[in-house]
Structure 1
Amino acid sequence: MIRLAGLAIPALFLTSAAFAQQADQPVLKGPAAFGDWHADRPGVRRLIKPEDLPKPYVTKSVSNSAGLADMPAGAKPQLPRGFSAELIASGIDNPRAVRVAPNGDLFVADSEANQVRVYRLAKDSAKPTEDGIFAGNLNQPYGIAFYPPGNDPQWVYVANSDSIVRFAYRSGDLKASREPEVIVANIPSNHHWTRDIVFSPDGKTLYLSVGSGSNIAEDMGKAPDGGLDAWVKSQPLAASWGSEEGRADVQAFDPDGKNGRIVATGLRNCSGMTIQPATGALWCVVNERDALGDNVPFEYATSVKDGAYYGWPWYYIGDHEDPRHKGARPDLAGKATIPDVLMQAHSAPLNIAFYDRKDLPADSGFPREYRGDAFVALHGSWNRGNRTGYKVVRLLFKDGKPTGEYEDFMTGFVVSNGEVWGRPVGVAVAADGALIVTEDGNGTIWRVTYDGGRS
């Protein structure tokens, strides 16, 4: 037994014990997929569809934030058979998004410390040979992107909560050589503050996600100045106004920050974005609204379609009207795009990464069946009576299209109904095919590899 903050728990629970989905294990569907952390283990699959949505207020809305436990010595996450996790670093203030430079260095946003850290690992190892602070004096940095895309970027872009800046960069730099250049200024930063960025494959477009300033636009006002009719005619579909203007959306800019426009609206909090290598499509993971009950509405991952509206704040998961905005926007009925992959409500997806590196040899990295799938970090619930999330899941794809199913991949961060030791945030695929995962509960970074009996 290992004792943790006065709580005795089995040592087996804290190991990376091998769990694999049995061939006859059914996919959890509908209400059967709405369980809590007790049902989580590598290999468990879920398929949630729009028609599975319960009605609002079936359960009461609760505040159920997890207590944070110290990570026990020797603790490791649980992974499928053949996989293992090694600790890269610990004791970091607030590791969030992680991105891999073309030369293999790991860039990590240490958001609450207002800095970006960098780690250079030894070959086929989780041991850093060098590490340092690439840049400091930032403002809650989160998203990181290299420009131009390819093997020889000249800039590192960083999304602060209120701006996008860029640093001159040469491959191998462990510290920024100059002060940052502001590319996009005056981004609204209260409430949802995580700003992610990613470049289109051709490098011509810089995408920016901006979360809402509230749960359901409580302070936005009933109508914009000049009236709703005039606003609708002059703005993208379902664009918000007042205190929410320019929020709950994905925006696009030229690499120099000019020619800004709104790509898609109604994305309450798109905390993580990426490009799907197989298709070039932009994807994001979204934290949906609170206070409608334990299982309403579902969180989601989706490709972001230009000009699309995803529901917030008037609708959710298609044509389900939020009862708190009943009758407010009948003109938007039937116009909300249904997301591609639905996940348990209140799981808090924060980052997404596709496992599809074209430069990775076929006989290295994860098994072939993982190629083209995506990993999503679920930070964990607070607005749910039965705790869920606190894990990394795998979204399944076939021929470049999502099946709608997702599978538990990295679990074991919850130690009791009241405490967790890890809250996954960032996911990225390293140059050697390892999966890099950050969690901000105990400030750790992990390197996940597959051996499968090869050693």
Structure 2
Amino acid sequence: MTFALASLARTLAATALLCGGAIFADTAHAAAAPLTPHPVKLDDGRSFSLNLPANLEIVPVVQGLKRVRFFARSPDGRVFVTDMQNLSDNKLGRVYALDGWDEKTERYSKVSVYLDKQRNPNSVAFHTDAAGQSWLYLANTDKLLRYRYRSGDLKPSSEPEVLASFPDYGLSYKYGGWHLTRTLAFGGGKLYVSVGSSCNACVEKEDVRAAILQMNPDGSQRRIYARGLRNAVGLLYRDGKLYATNQGSDHLATRSPTKPCSWSTMAPITAGRIAITATARSRPIRSFRARAAARARPRPSRISRRMRPRWAWPGFRPAIKAS
């Protein structure tokens, strides 16, 4: 039982990590096991620890990257990794192809720059159409691209097709930040793309903000599949359901030992319904809708500071909608 982890990009020089002996395997059983500290040592002498099930081993397989985000396995078995370079809005992002797995050294011997000069590439995915043509999909801040994919290529074999364009502006991190990442997932013959909000908590000008889009693999028949998800960075389609991680509002209070409180959820999304399945990670908190409404009227400084997630109250329906 093994799985891939993105590196601790915000605290260390980026490192691709591998748990066990292979990548992308099912972790359902591992997730239920008790977690124990696993030390990780880097070539430059630094080390850190991650809590994982005791029966897993974790080793660095690629080092020296910048801000690793998501992994995808290509039709020919290679691993593709997105790298956003840093926290700024930039066009320095890359997509790496990892190949040449060495069982003895437990590392990839070939790390190729498949794409560069990309605008904050967050997510990459592969899909093979009915005609047998394989495609590489890349989610940048401002657009969704796809390239014809050929096994063994070190660079794209065609110019990209632009399947969709997205708003590419927002407030600075000083005001809670805008969400420049876009995430991809395939399932049920459809392509899903998440687009974050333009701010910390506000009324959006574009319908596409704070939403998940659904479209055909060629970009046609695009529609909003779910809305009200402030920043659904993670998407996973499994057993007929689309799961999304959602990052709630920032800067809600200062009770967390290390940073202002926020909240996050994991929501399985099916047609017409979203079920909130995870609790807040810190308190006090309040919902995105409550926060936006409170800003629109005069209020004392302590209002809503001690609210639980509003979906926790009997009879309350979350301010999240799926079509």
* TM-score greater than 0.5 by the shorter chain: yes
Q: Distance in 2 between matches of 1:211 and 1:310?
A: 19
Residue 89 of structure 2 corresponds to which residue in structure 1?
Answer: none
Equivalences for 1:247-396 in 2 at 5 Å? 247-276=209-238, 279-293=239-253, 294=255, 298-308=263-273, 322-326=290-294, 334-336=316-318
Residue 291 of structure 1 aligns to a residue in which SS?
coil
Query: In the superposition, relative to structure 1, how do residues 111 and 156 fare at CA in structure 2: closer, same or farther (>3 Å)?
Result: same
Equivalences for 1:54-453 in 2 at 5 Å? 73=45, 75=47, 77-78=49-50, 79-112=52-85, 113-122=92-101, 124=103, 126-148=106-128, 154-190=134-170, 191-201=178-188, 203=189, 205-217=190-202, 220=203, 241-242=204-205, 244-276=206-238, 279-293=239-253, 294=255, 298-308=263-273, 322-326=290-294, 334-336=316-318
Contact in 1 for aligned 2:102/2:109 (Cα 8 Å): no
Report the number of matched residues: 241
Query: In the superposition, relative to structure 1, how do residues 101 and 325 fare at CA in structure 2: closer, same or farther (>3 Å)?
Result: same
Contact in 2 for aligned 1:146/1:153 (Cα 8 Å): no
The Cα of 1:149 is off from its aligned counterpart by 7.4
Query: In the superposition, relative to structure 1, how do residues 327 and 129 fare at CA in structure 2: closer, same or farther (>3 Å)?
Result: closer
Q: Distance in 2 between matches of 1:309 and 1:214?
A: 23
Residue 193 of structure 1 aligns to a residue in which SS?
coil
Q: Distance in 1 between matches of 2:295 and 2:49?
A: 46
Residue 62 of structure 1 corresponds to which residue in structure 2?
Answer: none
The Cα of 1:71 is off from its aligned counterpart by 8.3
Query: In the superposition, relative to structure 1, how do residues 127 and 323 fare at CA in structure 2: closer, same or farther (>3 Å)?
Result: closer
- Which AA in structure 2 matches 1:117? Y
The Cα of 1:192 is off from its aligned counterpart by 0.3
Q: Distance in 2 between matches of 1:103 and 1:289?
A: 40
The Cα of 1:123 is off from its aligned counterpart by 5.3
The Cα of 1:256 is off from its aligned counterpart by 1.5
Residue 122 of structure 1 aligns to a residue in which SS?
strand
TM-score for both structures, normalised by structure 1: 0.47
- Which AA in structure 2 matches 1:334? F
Q: Distance in 2 between matches of 1:337 and 1:89?
A: 41
The Cα of 1:76 is off from its aligned counterpart by 5.0
Contact in 2 for aligned 1:154/1:170 (Cα 8 Å): yes
- Which AA in structure 1 matches 2:240? G
Query: In the superposition, relative to structure 1, how do residues 158 and 42 fare at CA in structure 2: closer, same or farther (>3 Å)?
Result: same
- Which AA in structure 1 matches 2:155? K
Q: Distance in 2 between matches of 1:317 and 1:72?
A: 40
- Which AA in structure 2 matches 1:42? L
Does 2:7 match 1:42? Answer: no
Contact in 1 for aligned 2:141/2:166 (Cα 8 Å): no
The Cα of 1:291 is off from its aligned counterpart by 2.1
Query: In the superposition, relative to structure 1, how do residues 321 and 259 fare at CA in structure 2: closer, same or farther (>3 Å)?
Result: closer
Query: In the superposition, relative to structure 1, how do residues 137 and 213 fare at CA in structure 2: closer, same or farther (>3 Å)?
Result: same
Query: In the superposition, relative to structure 1, how do residues 258 and 72 fare at CA in structure 2: closer, same or farther (>3 Å)?
Result: same
Query: In the superposition, relative to structure 1, how do residues 327 and 192 fare at CA in structure 2: closer, same or farther (>3 Å)?
Result: closer
- Which AA in structure 1 matches 2:134? Q
Measured against aligned partners, the alpha-carbon deviations of 1:98-117 in whole angstroms (never above 9, x if no partner) come to 11223321111112332211
Measured against aligned partners, the alpha-carbon deviations of 1:140-163 in whole angstroms (never above 9, x if no partner) come to 11111111279x761100000111
Q: Which has the higher contact order (CA 8 A, sep 6+)?
A: 1
Q: Distance in 1 between matches of 2:185 and 2:266?
A: 16
Contact in 1 for aligned 2:102/2:108 (Cα 8 Å): no
Structure 1 portions without partners, runs of 5+: 1-15, 17-40, 45-69, 221-240, 340-455
The Cα of 1:308 is off from its aligned counterpart by 4.3
Query: In the superposition, relative to structure 1, how do residues 253 and 155 fare at CA in structure 2: closer, same or farther (>3 Å)?
Result: same
Q: Distance in 2 between matches of 1:188 and 1:105?
A: 31
Residue 196 of structure 1 aligns to a residue in which SS?
strand
Q: Distance in 1 between matches of 2:288 and 2:140?
A: 33
The Cα of 1:285 is off from its aligned counterpart by 0.9
Q: Distance in 2 between matches of 1:319 and 1:136?
A: 38
Residue 325 of structure 1 aligns to a residue in which SS?
helix
CA RMSD of aligned residues (A): 3.6
Residue 173 of structure 1 aligns to a residue in which SS?
coil
Structure 2 portions without partners, runs of 5+: 1-18, 20-33, 86-91, 171-177, 277-283, 297-310
- Which AA in structure 2 matches 1:200? G
Query: In the superposition, relative to structure 1, how do residues 187 and 307 fare at CA in structure 2: closer, same or farther (>3 Å)?
Result: farther
The Cα of 1:134 is off from its aligned counterpart by 1.0
Query: In the superposition, relative to structure 1, how do residues 86 and 97 fare at CA in structure 2: closer, same or farther (>3 Å)?
Result: same
